[in-house]
Amino acid sequence: MEEEIFRNGSFTIKDAQGTPRGKSSSEKNVCRLKSRSPYSQRCDRKKALRPSQKKEVAQEIVVEENVSIGKACRIIGLSRCMYYYASVKDDAMVENKLLELASKRPTRGFGHYFGIIRNEGLIWNHKRVKRVYKKLGLNKRRKVKRRVPTRVQEPIVIPNSINESWSMDFIHDVMENGRKVKFFNVIDDYNREILTIDVGTSITGERVTRSLEEIISWRGKPKEIRVDNGPEFTSAVFAQFCLYHEIRIKFIQPGKPVQNALIERFNRTFREDVLDAHIFENFPSLRHTVEEFIENYNNEYPHQSLNGKSPKKYLTKSNNVYF
C-alpha cells in the first residue's frame, strides 16, 4: 500500500513499509552521521576567504591543535597542493618604492603614488602595485604628526606697564547635557587683569582674531602675546593678524606649559571658582556666571603678587590708567 507524504515542498510516495519509491530497502538502514568537527565551530578566528588566508588558518590549527596537515586541510576546505604552494612573486622593488613614497608623502594615496611610479618610467602593472599597496596596509588612514617649529625658551618677565605683554590660553569643560564648551582666556601680564573670556563650542583662529580686535578697540594693542602651540595660534589667520598690528608672538616650547605660567595660574583659579563650583544647564546661565566672575576678579580678587590688591586697584595705584 502506498501513501503520499508532503516534505520539503514536494510529495514523496512511500510504500507500506515506509521506504521511498526509487530507493532500495537496504538504503533505509544506512545511517548518515553528519558530525561536525569542533575546529570548524571555533568563532575566535577570522573567516578565511582567500587561499592565502585559509593556509594561515590551517597552519594555526596544525600548531595549536597538534593535528596532521591533511586533517587541517580537510577541516578548512583547502587543497594540500595549495598548502605546500610557495609563491614565486618577488615584490621587493615595488614594496621599497611604495614605502619610500609613503615616508616622503604620508598624506597622499595610491593614485598619487602610482602617478609618480609611471612618471619615473617604471612599467609595473596597475593591479600589481595596488595589491602590494594593500598588502603593506597603506590603504588605511595614517595619522600624521603635526610638525612644530623649534621654539626658543624665553623667561617670563613681568612688564612695567599695561599692554606690554598679554597671555592667552584655552580651557575646556562639559555642560550638564554632555555638550563640550571651550573658553578663550586673555589676561594682561602687568596686573593680571582679565581682558576677555570668550565662551563657545568651537573657537577657531578667526574667532580668536575677532576677540582680540574687540579688546584692542577699548584697551589698545599689546607689544607681544605669549601663547602655546595650539592650532588656533599657529594658524595663518592669527599670524597675519599679529603681523598687521605689529604684535610679536612668543611661543612657548611644546609640552612646557610652565613657560606660560601666568595664564596657567589663572586657569586654575577660573576652574576652581567657576567650572568646578557650578553645573551649567545652558549657555545663558554659563555666560552670566562668567561675566560675574570677571567683574569680581578684576575689582575684588586679591593677588599676592600685587600686594594683596585686585587688578583694577593695582592699576589705579600705579597710575597706569587706560579708562
Cell 573670556 sits on residue? 197
- pLDDT of 33 reads 40
Report the range of poorest mean pLDDT among 10-14, 87-91, 282-286. 10-14
Are residues 195 and 293 located together in one domain of the fold?
Answer: yes
Is 0.75 surpassed by the pTM of this model?
no
Residue 47 has pLDDT above 90, yes or no: no
The answer as to whether 274 is a domain residue is yes
Are residues 261 and 169 located together in one domain of the fold?
Answer: yes
The number of folded domains in the chain is 3
Mention every residue, 6+ apart, whose C-beta is less than 8 A from residue 4. 11, 12, 13
The answer as to whether 29 is a domain residue is no
- pLDDT of 12 reads 53
Give, as one character, the DSSP assignment of residue 144.
Answer: P
The answer as to whether 181 is a domain residue is yes
Longest dimension (CA), the chain: 122
The answer as to whether 290 is a domain residue is yes
- The four Cα atoms 14, 15, 20, 24 give a dihedral, to 10 degrees, of 180
- pLDDT of 151 reads 84
How many whole angstroms separate alpha carbon 132 and alpha carbon 114? 12
Q: Annotate 215-230 with DSSP letters as a single string.
A: HHHHH---SEEEE-S-
Give, as one character, the DSSP assignment of residue 109.
Answer: -
Asked whether 106 and 142 are in contact (CB, 8 A), the reply is yes
Domain boundary among 86, 101, 118: 86
Are residues 203 and 258 located together in one domain of the fold?
Answer: yes
DSSP H stretches of helix in the chain? 51-65, 69-76, 80-84, 92-104, 110-119, 126-135, 205-219, 236-244, 261-270, 283-300, 311-317
* Count of residues in the chain: 323
Asked whether 97 and 122 are in contact (CB, 8 A), the reply is yes
Q: Place 3 in a pLDDT band, splitting at 50, 70 and 90.
A: low
Q: Place 26 in a pLDDT band, splitting at 50, 70 and 90.
A: very low
The answer as to whether 20 is a domain residue is no
Q: How many CB atoms lie within 10 A of CB 119?
A: 8
Q: Which residues pair with 199 in a beta bridge?
A: 183
Are residues 172 and 273 located together in one domain of the fold?
Answer: yes
Are residues 81 and 107 located together in one domain of the fold?
Answer: no
Residues spanned by the domain of 297: 165-317
Cα dist from 244 to 124, 221, 240, 247, whole Å: 52, 11, 6, 8
Q: For the chain, how far is it from start to end, CA to CA, in angstroms? A: 116
Average pLDDT rounded to a whole number, residues 85-114: 89
CATH number for the domain harbouring residue 296: 3.30.420.10
The answer as to whether 5 is a domain residue is no
Asked whether 159 and 189 are in contact (CB, 8 A), the reply is yes
Are residues 312 and 272 located together in one domain of the fold?
Answer: yes
Asked whether 110 and 216 are in contact (CB, 8 A), the reply is no
The answer as to whether 10 is a domain residue is no
Average pLDDT rounded to a whole number, residues 79-102: 88
Average pLDDT rounded to a whole number, residues 83-112: 88
Number of H-type helices and E-type strands within the chain: 11, 7
The answer as to whether 65 is a domain residue is yes
Residue 278 has pLDDT above 80, yes or no: yes
Mention every residue, 6+ apart, whose C-beta is less than 8 A from residue 14. 2, 3, 5, 20, 21
Average pLDDT rounded to a whole number, residues 28-56: 57
**Residue 287, SS3?**
helix
Report the range of poorest mean pLDDT among 97-106, 142-151, 153-162, 214-223. 142-151
- pLDDT of 193 reads 96
Are residues 121 and 202 located together in one domain of the fold?
Answer: no
* pLDDT tens, residue by residue, 246-267: 999 999 999 899 999 999 999 9
Asked whether 129 and 114 are in contact (CB, 8 A), the reply is yes
Are residues 126 and 50 located together in one domain of the fold?
Answer: no
Average pLDDT rounded to a whole number, residues 127-152: 81
Are residues 254 and 294 located together in one domain of the fold?
Answer: yes
Q: How many CB atoms lie within 10 A of CB 65?
A: 13
Strand order across the 224-227 sheet: 194-200, 180-188, 165-174, 224-227, 248-251
* pLDDT tens, residue by residue, 224-251: 999 999 999 999 999 999 999 999 999 9
Domain boundary among 71, 86, 101: 86
